[in-house]
Structure 1
Amino acid sequence: MAVTFKGNPVTLLGNQVKVGDKAPDFHVLANDLSEVTLKDTAGKVRLISVVPSIDTGVCEQQTRRFNEEASTLAGVEVLTISVDLPFAQKRWCAAEGIENLQTLSDHRELSFGKNYGVAIEELRLLARAIFVVDSSDTVTYVEYVPEVTNHPDYEKAIEAAKNVN
């Protein structure tokens, strides 16, 4: 898949995840520096929102939108993953009143980025993407946003999360 950042092509590390794939595991950090893996949300439907940096306009809007929607998504765990440091994520969430989703940091290993094919080699950021994973760890929805600075299709992602069995 071709992805650009501000119109310039970028190289994504890892393999693209597709609908029907078993969700790859990952090792990221929570705001308290504890390690979080896919297994930590086992048995739940997950909507994983991937952003380059929570401190930028589109990423802020994306995170706020999914925070608002999270309260209407019964039984869905909403995760936002970026390479921002856990401290920055925690500070931003506190300042913005983000309480309905969990922010996770992939700064340490780029484990999520490489396992989901969203690590931008040239920038050490994550490409914008949305994944929905069902309670048996099967990927049921994928959106790799072709231009990293653009918004994802919020409605499709939310609908996909609501319709997971």
Structure 2
Amino acid sequence: MKYIVLVLLFAFFVGVTGCAVNAPTFGDRVLAEGESHIAIAEQWKKGQNESIKGEKLVMKGRKLVEKGRADFREGEQLIASGNLAVKSNRHAYQSLSQIAQATDSADTASERAAKLKKYATAWEKGEERIADGNDLIKRGNDRVDEGESDISKGQKLIERGRTNMQDAETKYQPQK
């Protein structure tokens, strides 16, 4: 008997509390649906922003690669012209310094010294061009590396952004 009373009492309380809990109203359902649509819209917008940011990063990377390659080409040209200057001026300097000509006068000796100085200066400038060319090549390679890194990061951002946008579009179910 006690068992039956307890069961009936329990059933009564369950029934009362079940009736006391209000079912969601139409307004509650619309609000919940609106909040889910807002979340979907925010996810889509986030994906769009990531995609745009990625595209900008890819463009920046491509410009860096382009500048790096230009630096590399310019560096190679500087090295080539520097090598030519070093070679020709070194040869001229050595030839002039090895000539065993009788120095007839101070003017002749002075002219010869001036020519040697001119060749030595041009030789040094050639070596400077080689060093500048090497620096440009290094800077070019660094720019190419940085640009390729930016391109890779940008492509990943674009991919992630598009995935977010597609996921949001898949989640969205317009009201009928």
Q: TM-score range by the shorter chain?
A: under 0.3
Structure with bigger helix share is 2
Q: Which has the higher contact order (CA 8 A, sep 6+)?
A: 2
- Higher-Rg member (1/2): 2
Higher strand proportion (structure 1 or 2): 1
Normalised to the residue count of structure 2, the TM-score between the two structures is 0.15
TM-score using structure 1 length: 0.16
